[in-house]
A and B are shown apart, each in its own frame.
Chain A
Amino acid sequence: LGAGQSIQQTYDLTRYLEHQLRTLAGTYLNYLGPPFNEPDFNPPRLARAERVPSATVDLDLWRGLTDNARLAANYRAYSRLLCYLRVLDGQVGTAELRHRLAHFCASLQGLVLSIGGVMSSLGYPLPAGPAGPPAPPGAPAAPNDFLKKMDDFWLLKELQIWLWRSAKDFNRLKKKVPPAVVTLRLEARGF
């Protein structure tokens, strides 16, 4: 795949994941129950939740990112988000939700690989760190169930916003590296 097609594919996958997460997050927050599934729930972000990579970025800084830096930020973020999501996946009580989380994790893994593919096609090195997502940091688990749910709440919210950010990131890249024009080799016979 050329870089352009690779970026387009990554963009489409991001949009797909964004859509998937919207329903998955709704189901999961209902699984967590009130107050986590209430629209106005606005909990403080505790130290543990700060470890989840934040999509928040200064506007001018974001605009000025080089393509390499932009892709690397995405690659690192999803690698770590995937790792947290897998921890989540292993603890869910209902089979249906576990299945959907597992499917989402697989798609997210696909996104990490896709971003890696784009970087390679543009000649950029993959960010340092183990090939797969890094193991979850050794911090102690949440001391109680409510704080555990709080961590899950922030993970899903951060993931949602990363996907929005990535859609904008890949949209910018799409415009800088349009898909290569497909040349149809016409065997001209008798013209």
Chain B
Amino acid sequence: DSHIQYERVGADVTMKCGSMDWDAAVTWTANGTDIDESHLNGSYLILKNVDLSQSGQYSCYEGSSWHLKYQTYLRVGTPPKEPVLMCRSNNYPKGFYCSWHLPTPTYIPNSFNISVIHGTKDMVCEKDAVPKNRCHIRLLQLFSTVKYKVTLTVTNALGKNFTTLTFDEFAIVKPDPPESVVAKPVPNNPRRLEVSWQNPSSWPDPESFPLKFFLRYRPLILDQWQHVELSDGTSHTITDAYAGKEYIIQVAAKDTDIGTWSDWSVAVHATPWTEEPKHLTTEAQITETTSASTSSFMAPPTTKICDKGAVVGS
């Protein structure tokens, strides 16, 4: 009979050759390769302190007739550790999802079972086809003071483990980052940048559940971000940009009342408008342009780069 045999890493494994007697003459193979007699005790195969590399197909043949008497597939692995579980609502108030993973691999198949209880009610967690380690719960009630209790149990042939999360509905609300972030210079305004974005498409009802936003921006030449919080609307004009410097800009979102901030959006870059250099025909114009261009490298009067009137780019 052929079947799968699971054993823990480090275990000592003994395999009998089916119904053959202890003193019968037999041959054992591992993945088709004969196993040295030193591993045999009579007709029994003895594997000491097995490791992952010893997983494979083990077969036992009767000595003279080479008749296959026993075959097994040995899977060496570990029992599951406590799984890591995370629940989050990025589409409030539609529902929330839970996703999980194992902190370390087990090298053998695991099965996961998740239970979601709200007060006394059992809720269905609809599993995603892909990714497999994720499922969704639909919120039927809103504004509940009763916590949700999610228990994830992982089982494999070598053991079982579980983890439990208990949380309030509003504590796990975390939108996805804003989308379609665009930053543009404002013609004739050397210190302005116009930034616009959209609500994350996963946020189902911004009318009833408005988002507020956090914008951060900085010139590439500096590390210090500047921040501005915006309670509504999906655009903002930066008015204190350094002339001619390339900026990096990101936006985050949060429900106006509950939950936590989203991750930062994808970063966008933009450089404020700068005056086109005039076409030079006479020497005077050349001189005029040279002095003009030097001054443009002078840091704007309201610079915050350093206090001692440093000159940018000098």
- Which residues on A are within 8 Å of B, measured CB to CB? 15, 18, 40, 42, 45, 54-59, 62-63, 154, 157-158, 161-162, 164-165, 167-168, 171-172, 175
Most buried by A among B141, B145, B170: B145
Identify the 9 closest CB pairs spanning chains A and B, nearest first. A55-B143, A165-B143, A56-B144, A164-B257, A167-B257, A157-B145, A161-B143, A42-B147, A56-B141
Contact B166 A59 (CB under 8 A): no
A161 to B282, CA, bound (A): 73
**141-175 of chain B: CB within 8 A of chain A:** 141-147, 166, 170
Partner of A58, one of B141, B145, B146, B256: B141
CB proximity of A131 to chain B, nearest CB, Å: 27
Chain B, residues 258-287, CB within 8 Å of chain A (1/0): the string is 100000000000000000000000000000
Chain B residues near A59 (CB-CB < 8 A): 93, 139-142
**124-141 of chain B: CB within 8 A of chain A:** 139-141
Contact A42 B166 (CB under 8 A): yes
Partner of B142, one of A40, A45, A56, A167: A56
A158 to B146, CA, bound (A): 10
- Decide if B185 is an interface residue (CB 8 Å cutoff): no
Chain A residues near B256 (CB-CB < 8 A): 167, 171
Contact B170 A161 (CB under 8 A): yes
Residue of A nearest to B147 (CB): A42
Contact B145 A54 (CB under 8 A): yes
Contact B140 A56 (CB under 8 A): no
- Decide if B210 is an interface residue (CB 8 Å cutoff): yes
- Decide if B209 is an interface residue (CB 8 Å cutoff): yes
Residue of A nearest to B169 (CB): A161
A108 to B209, CA, bound (A): 23
Chain A residues near B288 (CB-CB < 8 A): none
Contact A154 B145 (CB under 8 A): yes
Chain B residues near A63 (CB-CB < 8 A): 208
5 interchain pairs, CB-CB under 8 A: A58-B141, A59-B139, A59-B140, A161-B143, A172-B207
Contact A175 B207 (CB under 8 A): yes
Chain B residues near A164 (CB-CB < 8 A): 143, 170, 257-258
Chain A residues near B143 (CB-CB < 8 A): 55-57, 62, 161-162, 164-165
Chain B, residues 102-131, CB within 8 Å of chain A (1/0): the string is 000000000000000000000000000000
Chain A residues near B210 (CB-CB < 8 A): 171
CB proximity of A156 to chain B, nearest CB, Å: 10
Chain A residues near B145 (CB-CB < 8 A): 45, 54-56, 154, 157-158, 161
Contact B142 A62 (CB under 8 A): yes
Chain B, residues 228-263, CB within 8 Å of chain A (1/0): the string is 000000000000000000000000000011100000
A45 to B146, CA, bound (A): 8
A162 to B170, CA, bound (A): 12
CB proximity of B175 to chain A, nearest CB, Å: 15
CB proximity of B271 to chain A, nearest CB, Å: 37
Q: Given A42-B166, A59-B93, verify A165-B142 contact (CB < 8 Å).
A: yes
Chain B residues near A158 (CB-CB < 8 A): 145
Contact B140 A168 (CB under 8 A): no
Chain B residues near A161 (CB-CB < 8 A): 143-145, 170
CB proximity of B89 to chain A, nearest CB, Å: 13
Chain A residues near B257 (CB-CB < 8 A): 15, 18, 164, 167-168
Chain B residues near A18 (CB-CB < 8 A): 257
A69 to B146, CA, bound (A): 24
Contact B166 A168 (CB under 8 A): no
A102 to B26, CA, bound (A): 90
Contact A171 B208 (CB under 8 A): yes
CB proximity of B92 to chain A, nearest CB, Å: 10
